[in-house]
Structure 1
Amino acid sequence: MKIIKYLSLIALSLMCLSCTKDLTSLNEDPAGFTSLDPAYQLTKIQSSLSGDREDAWRYDLGIASPIVQHLGGSWWTQHGGMYRVVEKSHWYSHWESTYPRELKNIQDILDRTESDPEMVNMNAAARVLRVYMFSRMTDMYGDIPYSEAIKGFTERKFKPKYDRQEDIYADFFNELEKANAAFDVAGKTVGGDMFYNGDVAKWKKFCNSLRLRLGFRLTKINLAEAQKQVERALTNGVMANNSDICMIKHMPINYTADEFRGNGRSQVFKADAISAGFRLVRTLVNYMAEREDPRLHIYGGTYVGDGIVGVSSNVIDISAFIEPLGVSPGAMAWNEFKNYGPVTDDDGNQIEVGHNFKFLQPSKYVSALDAPFFHLSFAEVEFLKAEAAARGWAGATNAQTHFMNGIQASCEMMALYPGAPPIGQSNIDALKAHYLPFPSDFEATMESIHSQMWVNFFLNGAEAYANFRRTGYPKLVPFTSVEWYTSGTDGVIPRRFFYPESEAIQNGKNLQEALGRMGGKNDWLVPVWWDKQ
């Protein structure tokens, strides 16, 4: 009986083991990965940074670009153009997409390549990209989860503290210094890289150019530290020409959920007829037109026809037959309900231009689905060098030379838009002539530099917004009202984005601590740390 009993127990045990093995196999995804090549992750991160239509529509085209008076006209530009909260979730879409997706993936790359000598350049590139993504986040929101962020799986930290922006920036500079030292131009290239096709030397220049940008961010709050970081960046080596631009070349792919290879901003413009309502704002249009800026008709075009620009055959380009007009800051096209009237084309045909077609729309060049997105340009570097020279930093003395180099680089950069005509040198020289004699007064110099920087940042609203808050240029007239609409802030330009309401539930204690440092309210009018008033 004992033998039978033991055999029965053994059989039962084997059955349990078999069941466990079967259950384990059932819980394994045969199509899944136990380890993912960091190159695939990097490609996904880079494409989603500017290929996510839903995020770009909300944080940039609907908020940041209208705040700086680049774009208006659309229903959703009320957020940034009128300083109104139409849908509050738009103000934190970037937070809720970036933390669980791009930042999670970049942290995973860092963790898995940290001790691999073959992946030293991948690790360094990931460090730089992590700083870039976090800098955009903290510049929008202020104090954010940083040092304890993305550590729920690795360290069981599910409720990360909100680091002070001052501490975050200090770590940015440490991380960029480490990355610069780690890059090995003789080592393995950066796999899956859509910015530079793996070119380590160019990644190193991007690293230091980003440090240059972030160093200047501190000029209002800590001038000595700003100078230190700017000079270190210039010593380490920044972008030298347009071939160093940090950009992604998108593919001609229209919107599909979770498909990021097309240009997300362009997908918004092509989501509905007449550029989905988006128009260039009069502030930008007039500034450029008054200076004969040849980039204006690369940025915007006047089109007649109820269709998709660059796609529909019934859309006619009348840019050559009508003066460039921008919509009033904050306004929609129907707020200025007056038809333009007829224009005459080269064949003598008259074309009626209604109120909805008279304003510049994003052009067929910048709204192409395969239009590039510029994360950091050589033109920006030259404008920042001009400011360094104006301040007497890094031994630089000729602000005018760098300023003119910036204009030259920005105009030449326009040829990177698909189908865009090259800008002739005579047109570039005519633009430069509007800034002669170059000002000798510091504030007048700053206004010239950063008004041009603002023009250069078209369709990079987040960076234009950050630079405007730092420098105060261009001198924007705040929105107060148009017909049927008034400002949601009595004409005060917002200084930051709202924290997500979900944080009150998921990370309430740490959120409250951060809010306590800004007066106790989730207030979009309270400046971030470096935006000292």
Structure 2
Amino acid sequence: MKHLRNIILSTVSAGLVVSLAGCTNSYEDYNQDPYGVSKKETERDAYSLGAAMVNLQSWVIPTDVNTNQFTECLCGGSYGGYLSDSNAGFIGKNFAQFSPENSWNRVLFRDFLPKLSIYFNEVKSATDEPVPLAVAQIIKVAGIHRVTDAYGPIPYSKVGQNGEITAPYDSQQEVYKLMFKQLDEAIATLTANRTLNFSPKADNVYGGNVEKWIKFGNSLRLRLAIRISKADPALAKQEAEASVSNEVGVMTSNDDNAFMTLSNTNPFRVVMYEYNGGDSRIGADITTYMNGYKDPRREAMFTKSTFSRGTNGYYGLRSGIQIPGAEIAHAYSNYNVKTDTRLLWMNAAEVAFLRAEGALKNWNMGGTAGSFYKKGVELSFEQWGVKGAAAYLADNTSTPAVYTDPAGLNSYSGSVSTITIAWDDNNTVEQQLERIITQKWLAMFPLGLEAWSDYRRTGYPKLMPVKVNNSGGVVSNERGARRLAYPQEERSNNLDNYNAAVGMLGGADNMATDVWWAK
């Protein structure tokens, strides 16, 4: 029987863990024994647990630069209204124009599913202690839900121990039920052992703090509950209320925020500054909203544009366009991300907005929709180190700006939305929902896949339609992509299970078919 006190890593093994964590595509290397360390010695200093747990964490928001580029920047960034492609070489094959190549489209499916299973099983092999196992289960769900939210039905309950995904699919409804079951069990285990912290060497998010993991688990459960609130209202209400009524509860302060500390350069920094001078830029959608709101967070979040003529400011590049050459594309605002910026998984501001939406549905969230809405804005301002939240929340006249392209290429006539900032209890429920989701969207930056899910689920925030649609009429300019098509490898390597999955999907395997919770 292993003991929690044995999880403390030795100084030597700590260096090895950090080294291993820097490369997330070398699973085979972890089965080797280049230093001649015996299994008994490995268990004694928790080398295996540290390597497996840190690498499992690396597949929630991917730390690998190439993977991060495809999932967070090119896909999530474009569809979530946060980023836009600034490499003209991407024309005709990108997500924004609804025509991703299979090498782009496959990443979130073919890389995430096996890696999450591999490293989760590595944690199980490294320890039989309930606390790290429960934490690992929460981490796995945090990654898996991003895959099912992008594709719909996925292989989950029957994925092989070695990460082999040539397996039967679960319907998305069943995936969600299983994720809730796993979260419920993990949260119950951690709550019963809330004082039994584990080694910070095995945790680059909360440094082994169990109560922080309970709050994250409850907050993740609340996120998923809100996601299915139209598809399964009874289950959603049950899981949401269980999250906030747990004795430890959900995230309520920025001290609870889930950020992953990295041993290498932040991948957003590489993609947006180093790859070809930057393969992505800040999107026009988010700067248009924030310019209209005169949002003081802009300076903390973005750099100013660098056009040689005219007044420079916070001007984003419109998404889904004929991508201009680098001289123009790289002059738009960029993400103010440093080499050592930590990777955001989830923040307390998002949780406040989730509770606001739950309260809007008359669920017991511990407060009113208006109070949680205001708290969400205040938390976001505090997270970014910006003052002025009170004045911002009192603004009942400002609306998103009209987008005038500084380069004169892709302006958009009219404003996409007329929603103001100040909370009004006399507004309709739909107006209040748009206000909640819009501010939640601003506060969640740069979590593009989350923003895309909210957009598909609610229609908010309202975004500019694409100008270049290469889907052959399949995808609507106004509704945008509703999911990702399955990788071509599924039709060639897993055909029977693929065909069954398309039947579960209830529509064609293309980007216009809604996933279960968005129908």
Q: Same fold (TM over 0.5)?
A: yes
- In structure 1, the partner of 2:132 is 122
Give the whole-Å Cα distance in 1 for the aligned partners of 2:188 and 2:262. 31
Give the whole-Å Cα distance in 2 for the aligned partners of 1:182 and 1:356. 50
Structure 1 residues 90 and 273, CA gap change in structure 2 (3 angstroms): closer
- In structure 1, the partner of 2:181 is 174
- In structure 2, the partner of 1:208 is 218
Q: Which moved more, 1:512-521 or 1:37-46?
A: 512-521
SS at match of 2:488: coil
Q: 1:514 Cα deviation (Å)? A: 0.5
User: Is there any run of 5+ residues in structure 1 with no aligned partner, and where?
Assistant: 1-26, 252-260, 306-315, 338-353, 415-421
Q: 1:355 Cα deviation (Å)? A: 4.1
- In structure 2, the partner of 1:50 is 62
Residue pairs, 1:14-163, within 5 angstroms: 31=35, 34=39, 37-48=48-59, 49-75=61-87, 76=90, 79-85=94-100, 87-110=101-124, 112-113=126-127, 116=128, 119-152=129-162, 159-163=166-170
Q: 1:527 Cα deviation (Å)? A: 1.0
- In structure 2, the partner of 1:348 is none
SS at match of 1:498: coil
User: Is there any run of 5+ residues in structure 2 with no aligned partner, and where?
Assistant: 1-30, 396-420
- In structure 2, the partner of 1:12 is none
Contact 2:81 2:283 in 1 (8 A): yes
Give the whole-Å Cα distance in 2 for the aligned partners of 1:213 and 1:181. 18
Q: 1:30 Cα deviation (Å)? A: 5.0
Code of the aligned partner of 1:220: K
Q: 1:152 Cα deviation (Å)? A: 4.9
Q: 1:370 Cα deviation (Å)? A: 1.1
- In structure 2, the partner of 1:430 is 391
Code of the aligned partner of 2:116: E
Q: 1:130 Cα deviation (Å)? A: 1.2
Give the whole-Å Cα distance in 1 for the aligned partners of 2:275 and 2:162. 40
- In structure 2, the partner of 1:20 is none
Quick one: which of 259, 262, 274 aligns to 1:250? Answer: 262
SS at match of 2:324: helix
Give the whole-Å Cα distance in 2 for the aligned partners of 1:67 and 1:488. 16
Quick one: which of 264, 269, 289 aligns to 1:266? Answer: 269
Q: Deviations over 1:193-252 (max 9, x none)?
A: 01100000100111100000001111121112211111011111111211111111224x
Q: 1:398 Cα deviation (Å)? A: 2.1
1:443 aligns with 2:430: yes
SS at match of 1:362: coil
Q: 1:112 Cα deviation (Å)? A: 4.7
Give the whole-Å Cα distance in 2 for the aligned partners of 1:188 and 1:511. 42
Contact 2:219 2:251 in 1 (8 A): yes
- In structure 2, the partner of 1:281 is 283
Residue pairs, 1:121-520, within 5 angstroms: 121-152=131-162, 159-183=166-190, 184-191=193-200, 192-236=202-246, 237-251=249-263, 261-272=264-275, 274-276=277-279, 278-304=280-306, 322-331=312-321, 334=324, 355-356=328-329, 358-363=331-336, 366=337, 368-394=338-364, 396-414=366-384, 422-424=385-387, 427-434=388-395, 435-440=421-426, 441-481=428-468, 489-491=475-477, 492-518=479-505
Give the whole-Å Cα distance in 1 for the aligned partners of 2:458 and 2:495. 34
Contact 1:122 1:190 in 2 (8 A): no
Give the whole-Å Cα distance in 1 for the aligned partners of 2:340 and 2:97. 31
SS at match of 1:37: helix
Q: 1:46 Cα deviation (Å)? A: 1.9
Contact 2:98 2:471 in 1 (8 A): no
Q: Which moved more, 1:133-142 or 1:488-497?
A: 488-497
Give the whole-Å Cα distance in 1 for the aligned partners of 2:126 and 2:324. 54
Code of the aligned partner of 1:286: T
Give the whole-Å Cα distance in 2 for the aligned partners of 1:288 and 1:128. 34
Structure 1 residues 196 and 28, CA gap change in structure 2 (3 angstroms): closer
How high is the TM-score relative to the length of structure 1?
A: 0.77
Q: 1:131 Cα deviation (Å)? A: 1.1
Give the whole-Å Cα distance in 1 for the aligned partners of 2:446 and 2:423. 30
Give the whole-Å Cα distance in 2 for the aligned partners of 1:131 and 1:524. 24
Give the whole-Å Cα distance in 2 for the aligned partners of 1:500 and 1:51. 22
Query: Sequence identity of aligned pairs in percent?
Result: 27
Q: Deviations over 1:43-81 (max 9, x none)?
A: 122235431111111122111211122111423486332
Q: 1:103 Cα deviation (Å)? A: 2.5
Give the whole-Å Cα distance in 2 for the aligned partners of 1:372 and 1:28. 30
Give the whole-Å Cα distance in 2 for the aligned partners of 1:487 and 1:459. 29
Give the whole-Å Cα distance in 2 for the aligned partners of 1:490 and 1:247. 35
Q: Deviations over 1:5-36 (max 9, x none)?
A: xxxxxxxxxxxxxxxxxxxxxx9955466565
Code of the aligned partner of 1:83: F
Give the whole-Å Cα distance in 2 for the aligned partners of 1:490 and 1:398. 36
SS at match of 2:285: helix
Contact 2:134 2:189 in 1 (8 A): yes
Code of the aligned partner of 1:106: F
User: Larger radius of gyration, structure 1 or 2?
Assistant: 1
Contact 1:72 1:327 in 2 (8 A): yes
Structure with the higher strand share, 1 or 2: 1
Please report the RMSD computed on the Cα atoms of aligned residues, expressed in angstroms: 2.9
Q: Deviations over 1:236-277 (max 9, x none)?
A: 1111211111111224xxxxxxxxx3211221112245433x
SS at match of 1:523: coil
Contact 2:352 2:373 in 1 (8 A): yes
Give the whole-Å Cα distance in 1 for the aligned partners of 2:443 and 2:365. 26
Moved segments of 4+, more than 6 Å: 484-488
- In structure 2, the partner of 1:4 is none
Code of the aligned partner of 2:49: P
Give the whole-Å Cα distance in 2 for the aligned partners of 1:390 and 1:488. 34
Structure 1 residues 303 and 510, CA gap change in structure 2 (3 angstroms): same
Contact 2:197 2:209 in 1 (8 A): no
Give the whole-Å Cα distance in 2 for the aligned partners of 1:268 and 1:473. 27
Give the whole-Å Cα distance in 2 for the aligned partners of 1:29 and 1:511. 38
Contact 1:496 1:528 in 2 (8 A): yes
How high is the TM-score relative to the length of structure 2?
A: 0.79
Contact 1:107 1:150 in 2 (8 A): no
Contact 2:291 2:314 in 1 (8 A): yes
